[in-house]
Amino acid sequence: QKTSRSELMGASPGNTGAAPPRLPFSRVTQEDLAFFRALLPGRTITDPDLLKSSNVDWLKTVEGNSEVLLRPKTTEEVSQILRHCNERNLAVCPQGGNTGLVGGSVPVFDEIILSTSLMSQVITFDNISGILTCQAGCVLENLSNYLEERGFIMPLDLGAKGSCHIGGNVSTNAGGLRLLRYGSLRGTVLGLEVVLADGRILNCLATLRKDNTGYDLKQLFIGSEGTLGVITAVSILCPHKPKAVNVAFLGCSSFQQLLETFQRCRGMLGEILSAFEFLDASCMSLLEKHLKLTNPITESPFYIVIETAGSNATHDEEKLHKFLEEVMTSSLVTDGTVATEATKIKALWSLRERVTEALTHEGYTYKYDISLPVEKIYDLVQDMRGHLGDMAKNVVGYGHVGDGNLHLNITSPSKDPALLAAIEPYVYEWTSEWKGSISAEHGLGLKKRNYIYYSKPSEAVALMGSIKAMLDPKGILNPYKTLPDNIH
Amino acid sequence: QKTSRSELMGASPGNTGAAPPRLPFSRVTQEDLAFFRALLPGRTITDPDLLKSSNVDWLKTVEGNSEVLLRPKTTEEVSQILRHCNERNLAVCPQGGNTGLVGGSVPVFDEIILSTSLMSQVITFDNISGILTCQAGCVLENLSNYLEERGFIMPLDLGAKGSCHIGGNVSTNAGGLRLLRYGSLRGTVLGLEVVLADGRILNCLATLRKDNTGYDLKQLFIGSEGTLGVITAVSILCPHKPKAVNVAFLGCSSFQQLLETFQRCRGMLGEILSAFEFLDASCMSLLEKHLKLTNPITESPFYIVIETAGSNATHDEEKLHKFLEEVMTSSLVTDGTVATEATKIKALWSLRERVTEALTHEGYTYKYDISLPVEKIYDLVQDMRGHLGDMAKNVVGYGHVGDGNLHLNITSPSKDPALLAAIEPYVYEWTSEWKGSISAEHGLGLKKRNYIYYSKPSEAVALMGSIKAMLDPKGILNPYKTLPDNIH
């Protein structure tokens, strides 16, 4: 089966981010620009300086050469843009906050960038049901603040919240820090408005918890990274703001003890457990070195962030203290600190949330976002350290224990083809061997598109190609992303 | 817009269950039977007596004339059956426990019945992650029992649990009694194995909580009622069995007070609230009359079933008692009883779960399964009573307050076209006016297929038609179901 997989990939191992040849889309003409300027006066950007930050991804690992950035404000404008582009065979790269990690949100060649940054209005919020409807370009943190004032929270939270757009979150089926408690966007997103490749507006913006009338079309657009349509509005079910939140930051001397702590935690904290995250000692060193953060407990090989969120502070603290007593007494946990006050909670969370940022100061980072059976997640990190030896500057692991999701990061002073060839396809073969996913939450984008066969059978990938052909026959939407090069 | 909707429906109002003309599928020949008998010796049923119960739905409102019932045991057998049927242009009706309420699980004419009843094996269960993988024909209650022995529960529960199959639950995106707490199957189903119309096996049977590698194909088969493929195996994330369960059965004197009780309940029970269900006084009368059940509290216009499920019995009881004290003191609730012991819990739940059964003793029941903003759900019942006057024997309402899901049932001594004409399209217009769903959890099946336009725009329905054409170009899978007659 491995042979056929390599054949299907049609690409040499180690080509992370390598672009395929440009597909025969049209080039933007003066007539096209005139059309866009008439439709979006002052919001059709062609100044190369202003385009620069939209052409390159947050990690600065993928850079395109788009000459046009469009900033629509309404769904109708998005519809007219796409209708025009489809007729003219112009490729389009939809872009939200541009915080993706797999090169999915930037152009590869000269695709027109369609930004949702001016689509940032809340449309409605119902404070009985907790259902929020908003435009796709709302920044996640702004929505969080809006909701907190009203006694609710967003069902997702992630490190990039200050920049990422809800439309991008939905397009990439973002996971993040609250998935353990509130589930994935596939359950919490109740409705979407989407503009299809040919400009048709698909209004599935329902605000109902249950609706079994026909096929659930919105699911096609969740996680398809803008390749099937452009999400213009989202309705989402938001939980009540918990009355009590506690965060514990703990140290463990082995990953085995960390796993046992997780098992006890699930039993004893049960329904109030809202996050169980980890980072290893290498991550802590990077936080201290590059971001000058302080380790609040004694040094340990592993650190855990546990969050509880509940409706009764007394009950929650009682549960948490009982749990901490048990894991300290049984020596599963070597040291720890607990926060109940907002500033201290934020400080503890930043130790987990800012690892990605700390890594960017290390030079070049090869990033892997792997799902595995939870017992196996750290074996991959250790195995990779042995496998790479001195070739890598750092091999670090952190992530969401509760979801079986490891972020494996390998750093190097600069891009290093020999190192890359040692990592890939090794890391994918390893993951595939344990029936894991080679992209748990980051998506495939440009960088991982050709590795899809490690996690999906060829019949499934072929069917994805049929869906793409049905919804976007000319392939203008976010080309070179998500689907492998042998499928168009 | 109403005009265009009626035009699109292409059917006169009030045609619930009325079948369209038979489509030009082939008839089953002796050669076909020989093929099936060779493939499924002793499991190719043609005896009309044995076929009888599979030809008629549970409500006995829809009856087909199938002459062949096939009972495969393996995915490979399902694949061979469908490959043959597709080549021969033979229509197929997939059937699980045949407990559906919209005529989706029985043949309309002579479709071959493909039953999952012998596909009832548990494949794997991982008691660290709580992930169960099983064949599609497992009975929900058997899975529940299997899991309870291992300290877990199924994330869904419904009245039909003793007969319904998990494959049918997934195919219809069944909601049920635990949705409020554990969310919909779109979040808890982690993987599916599906046989497509042409016999291809699509193996998306992942057991990962997170996997963002390409489009989430399994979502196409959840809730599409067997029209896009036959689900042969399911993997599903199962929650830990709660350590403490409490059920309260309460009486309210108005629906307004019931809603206020719901709001207080969400605030005070928070994360331990696992169900908030209601039934009205008419339902209680039917339970007493037909099933000889006893009302455990004083007579009230409305009854509530509240369930809590948590990890700490003391904390849960404290929260529940505080809540009950508050709603009794403020006269929101007039009387109530609480159960913590399994037998009494079951008895209280049966008052809610057996309403459907009690209704079958009333003669003919017109059933509606409506999602609305929660404040509006009982207005529809009262409005309908006024609208129908003496024409209806009984107009009753019950359902899932927590999900905004009303089960509206209208009874009559026998089928009554005049009554039906008074109900439909009135009930659908009313629902559409409030942007509700005309099928919250039951699906569309045969009975509701032409009413899809009341809840979905025509662009969406057209796209559903394209998906159907892509996956089942000959339309052999469960014809006359889900999609309206103007779409094939």
- Mean of the pLDDT values across residues B339-368? 95
Dihedral, CA of residue A319, residue A323, residue A326 and residue A332, to nearest 10: 180
Q: CB neighbours (10 Å) of residue B386?
A: 8
For B405, the enclosing helix (H) or strand (E) is strand B405-412
Residues B433 and B390 in one domain: yes
Residues B58 and B27 in one domain: yes
Residues B149 and B47 in one domain: no
Domain CATH number, residue A177: 3.30.465.10
As to burial, measured by CB atoms within 10 angstroms (0-12 exposed, 13-18 middle, 19+ buried), residue B142 is: middle
Residues B344 and B303 in one domain: yes
Q: For A151, phi and psi rounded to 5 degrees?
A: 85, 20
Which residues in chain B touch residue A404, judged by CB atoms under 8 angstroms apart? 129, 208-210
Residues A194 and A155 in one domain: yes
Residues A88 and A21 in one domain: yes
Residue that is last in its domain, among B116, B137, B158: B116
Residues B217 and B249 in one domain: no
How far apart CA B251 and CA B298 sit, in angstroms, is 8
From first to last of its 488 residues, what are the pLDDT tens digits of chain A?
333 444 444 433 334 567 889 999 999 999 999 999 999 999 999 999 999 999 999 999 999 999 999 999 999 999 999 999 999 999 999 999 999 999 999 999 999 999 999 999 999 999 889 999 999 999 999 999 999 999 999 999 999 999 999 999 999 999 988 899 999 999 999 999 999 999 999 999 999 999 999 999 999 999 999 999 999 999 999 999 999 999 999 999 999 999 999 999 999 999 999 999 999 999 999 999 999 999 999 999 999 999 999 999 999 999 999 999 999 999 999 999 999 999 999 999 999 999 999 999 999 999 999 999 999 999 999 999 999 999 999 999 999 998 999 999 999 999 999 999 999 999 999 999 999 999 999 999 999 999 999 999 999 999 999 999 999 999 999 999 999 999 86
Q: Which residue of B has its CA nearest to A438?
A: B213
Domain CATH number, residue B394: 3.30.70.2740
Asked if A318's CB is within 8 angstroms of B311's CB, the reply is: no
Residue with tokens 């389009």: A92
How far apart CA A172 and CA A166 sit, in angstroms, is 10
- Mean of the pLDDT values across residues B272-289? 97
> Which site among A101, A123, A186, A213 would you substitute to test the B interface, given the most B Cβ atoms closer than 10 Å to its Cβ?
A213
Which residues in chain A touch residue B265, judged by CB atoms under 8 angstroms apart? none
First and final C-alpha spacing in chain A:
23
Q: Which residue of B has its CA nearest to A437?
A: B211
Which residues in chain A touch residue B215, judged by CB atoms under 8 angstroms apart? 220, 223-224, 228, 464, 467, 482
For chain B, what's the residue count?
488
Asked if A214's CB is within 8 angstroms of B219's CB, the reply is: no
- Shortest Cα–Cα distance, A409 to chain B (Å): 18
Q: Which residue of A has its CA nearest to B443?
A: A212
Q: What are the angstrom distances between the C-alpha of B237 and each of A371, A440, B5, B134, B265? A: 15, 16, 39, 12, 27
Q: Give the range of the structural domain holding residue B23, as residue numbers without chain letter.
A: 2-116
Q: Among A387, A250, A274, which residue's Cα sits nearest to residue A325?
A: A250
Residues A107 and A157 in one domain: no
How far apart CA B218 and CA A8 sit, in angstroms, is 22
Nearest beta carbon to residue B463 from set A207, A217, A404: A217
Nearest beta carbon to residue A216 from set B186, B404, B454: B186
* DSSP letter (8 states) at residue B374: G
| DSSP track, B94-122 | EESS---SSS-SS-SSSPEEEE-TT---E
Nearest beta carbon to residue B441 from set A212, A242, A442: A212
- In the structure encoding, which two tokens stand for residue B393, read together? 């024997």
As to burial, measured by CB atoms within 10 angstroms (0-12 exposed, 13-18 middle, 19+ buried), residue A85 is: buried
- Does residue A77 form part of some domain? yes
- Shortest Cα–Cα distance, A404 to chain B (Å): 7
Q: For A466, phi and psi rounded to 5 degrees?
A: -65, -40
Cβ atoms of B250 and B335 closer than 8 Å: yes
Which residues in chain B touch residue A315, judged by CB atoms under 8 angstroms apart? 312, 315, 318-319
Domain CATH number, residue B77: 3.30.43.10
Residue that is last in its domain, among B116, B145, B179: B116
Nearest beta carbon to residue B439 from set A212, A452, A455: A212
- Mean of the pLDDT values across residues B80-97? 98
The mean pLDDT of chain B is 94
- Does residue A466 form part of some domain? no
DSSP-assigned beta bridge partners for residue B397: B408
Three-state SS string over chain A comes to: CHHHHHHHHCCCCCCCCCCCCCCCCCCCCHHHHHHHHHHCCCCEECCHHHHHHHHECCCCCCECCCCCEECCCCHHHHHHHHHHHHHHCCCEEEECCCCCCCCCCCCCCCCEEEECCCCCCEEEEECCCCEEEEECCCEHHHHHHHHHCCCECCCCCCHHHHCCEHHHHHHCCCCCCCHHHHCCHHHHEEEEEEECCCCCEEEECCCCCCCCCCCCCHHHHCCCCCCCCEEEEEEEECCECCCEEEEEEEEECCHHHHHHHHHHHHHHHHHHEEEEEEEEHHHHHHHHHHHCCCCCCCCCCEEEEEEEEECCHHHHHHHHHHHHHHHHHCCCCCEEEEECCHHHHHHHHHHHHCHHHHHHCCCEEEEEEEECCHHHHHHHHHHHHHHHHHHCCEEEEEEEHHHCEEEEEEEECCCCHHHHHHHCCHHHHHHHHCCCECECCCCCCCCCHHHHHHCCCHHHHHHHHHHHHHHCCCCCECCCCCCCCCCC
Q: Is the ipTM of this complex over 0.90?
A: yes
Residue B17's pLDDT is what?
60
Q: For A278, phi and psi rounded to 5 degrees?
A: -140, 160
- In the structure encoding, which two tokens stand for residue B209, read together? 């909580």
How far apart CA A25 and CA A14 sit, in angstroms, is 27
Which residues in chain A touch residue B485, judged by CB atoms under 8 angstroms apart? none
How far apart CA A471 and CA B237 sit, in angstroms, is 31
> Which site among B83, B205, B215 would you substitute to test the A interface, given the most A Cβ atoms closer than 10 Å to its Cβ?
B215
For chain A, what's the residue count?
488
- Does residue A91 form part of some domain? yes
For B237, the enclosing helix (H) or strand (E) is strand B230-237
Nearest beta carbon to residue A270 from set B200, B208, B311: B311
How far apart CA A305 and CA B317 sit, in angstroms, is 29
- Shortest Cα–Cα distance, B243 to chain A (Å): 9
Residues B252 and B342 in one domain: yes
- Does residue A482 form part of some domain? no
How far apart CA A85 and CA A198 sit, in angstroms, is 8
Residue B3's pLDDT is what?
36
- Does residue A190 form part of some domain? yes
Nearest beta carbon to residue B210 from set A211, A267, A440: A440
Burial B160-176 (b: 16+ CB within 10 A, else e): bbeebbbbbbbbbbbbb
Instruction: Work out how many domains chain B is built from and give that number.
Output: 4
Residues A28 and A99 in one domain: yes
Which residues in chain A touch residue B169, judged by CB atoms under 8 angstroms apart? none
Q: Among B28, B78, B86, which residue's Cα sits nearest to residue B471?
A: B86
Residues in Cβ contact with B455 at an 8 Å cutoff, skipping those fewer than 6 apart: A206, A211, A213, B431, B432, B436, B437, B438, B439
Domain CATH number, residue B250: 3.30.70.2190
Where residue B324 falls (left for φ over 0; alpha for ψ -120 to 50; beta otherwise) is: alpha
Asked if A129's CB is within 8 angstroms of B208's CB, the reply is: no
